[in-house]
Chains A and B, each alone.
Chain A
């Protein structure tokens, strides 16, 4: 599948970083890949507002997925069919997708939701289409959490994957940092100063409850929940130096992963199998990315191009996305830690920071700062143009994409 994806990138521009003797080849994606036309004319819906919202959301989801275009009626390689009906407080959609040339059905399924959740129903159908046709986890049902700074007050906010349904999560108006989803997409861990010191909190979004999970003396930050949900990796300074620790959430036991007296560590992120951790360290004076095993020891530096490399996120596709300082600006790069093959996704005169993978392993959300104003953008590793996520007043940064 990946080989196919690479082969459809029709042109790549090879850039060599001149400043670093150990520079790797950086490929900048310049053009797009072929998309599959989808015929949605077979979907019947009521003339109601919700019927219109359902079909509009579905069209938007299919386009945003990056894999599809909407074809003319009677054309298109993938044929959708179904009936959207409403009864009182509930909406139902019986839908299918099939291959026009073979006539074979990809799937057929019935969806039921409250009338107020019509968009969620369209998202679920869109994700089923993406999965059945492309064998890729869809992102339409996912959410994004971020920090919003509005009127000088900082708080956590979340929105749907397409920027809809923006919700304010906290009402502290205090400095907060680096929200990160738990593996089930129902909890969030982050750092907040609302208690005076930088402590790590966990918010259970299903019951709206917040609990402090690390309040050791000094710094508590950069938390990332392990893929199995049992432990949290974080930065603590209680032993006199900012280092990487793993906290077992059942026993409260701490394991110190790094011990770098002359350096500060930051931003740890788990590998998809939970065996390794990528993190930032300034042990060579400037911040760079390192990979270590969860038991510590054997750090391996993985970034060599760019004067600074920060904010890594290890995706379920095995690739690490991060922000790299190149010619004075921060740009989003993707690297395969096995081969060292690196892709630079942005190159315009703006700062791109805090990238985070979408569940599809193809898209990335990050902040884009121009003139000290930060907005969130969704980038595509296969070359579709960036899309701005939110259009609300304020500064928006540190986004994290839910795992499902």
Chain B
């Protein structure tokens, strides 16, 4: 009898856990917004930092920055090809390593923006690892928050340019 009740409780618990898990995913707005769910299945821990080495010249390969919406770390589906181009270059050049640099616009606190910039860099790294199969140990992240804008002006167009992830490739 006792055993039977226990089984029932476990079933209820598992059911609730599933429902709650589902609720949480919905609340977070995941799925259907352009992110491969596999990217979000688990955090991909960073490996020990590597030395920067020599920067790959833009004449050899000029990666394009991935742009972000305000307060968002999601890689826009329209920008996925930029990530794929970097992945292709890294596959052709096995000795190349990457530092993904995350940046924000000047709005918001500086401390919050370094976290947001890191989240952006990690999202790009996760896409390279999960979608394109690049080894995670080849990719480091470095956030600059709002400290290194490409456009120093204070308007919407500058802010749009500054919310970005840059690819710094080294060999």
Contact = CB atoms under 8 A, between A and B. Distances in A.
Interface of A: 175, 177-178, 191, 193, 196-198, 216-219, 221-222, 235, 237-242, 261-267, 280, 282-283, 285-287, 308, 310-311, 323, 353-354, 372, 397-398
A175 B149 CA distance: 13
Interface in B76-131: 108-112, 114-116, 118-119, 122, 126
A282 B71 CA distance: 8
A217 B48 contact: yes
B15 to A, nearest CB: 22
B159 to A, nearest CB: 13
A126 B55 CA distance: 58
Contact of B116 (A198, A218, A264): A264
B46 A238 contact: yes
Contacts of A354: 109-110
A311 B109 contact: yes
Nearest to A282: B71
Contacts of B60: none
Contacts of B110: 177-178, 354, 397-398
Contacts of B52: 196
B112 A266 contact: yes
A218 B147 contact: no
Given A175-B148, A240-B44, 18 more contacts: A175-B147, A177-B110, A177-B114, A197-B142, A217-B49, A217-B140, A219-B141, A221-B114, A222-B115, A237-B46, A237-B119, A241-B122, A266-B114, A280-B111, A282-B112, A283-B28, A287-B108, A311-B112
Most buried by B among A193, A219, A287: A219
A267 B43 contact: no
Contacts of B122: 218, 237, 240-242
A280 to B, nearest CB: 6
Interface residues of B, number: 37
Nearest to B117: A219
A266 B115 contact: yes
A42 to B, nearest CB: 48
B108 A310 contact: yes
Contacts of B29: 285
B109 A310 contact: yes
Contacts of A242: 115, 118-119, 122
A218 B111 contact: no
A354 to B, nearest CB: 7
Contact of A285 (B71, B108, B115, B119): B71
A219 B112 contact: no
Contact of B46 (A218, A311, A397): A218
A222 B111 contact: yes
A86 to B, nearest CB: 46
B59 interface: no
B170 interface: no
Contacts of A178: 110-111
Given A241-B122, A372-B154, A287 B112 contact: yes
A237 B111 contact: no
B116 to A, nearest CB: 5
Contacts of B115: 219, 221-222, 235, 242, 264-266, 280
A267 B112 contact: yes
A178 B109 CA distance: 10
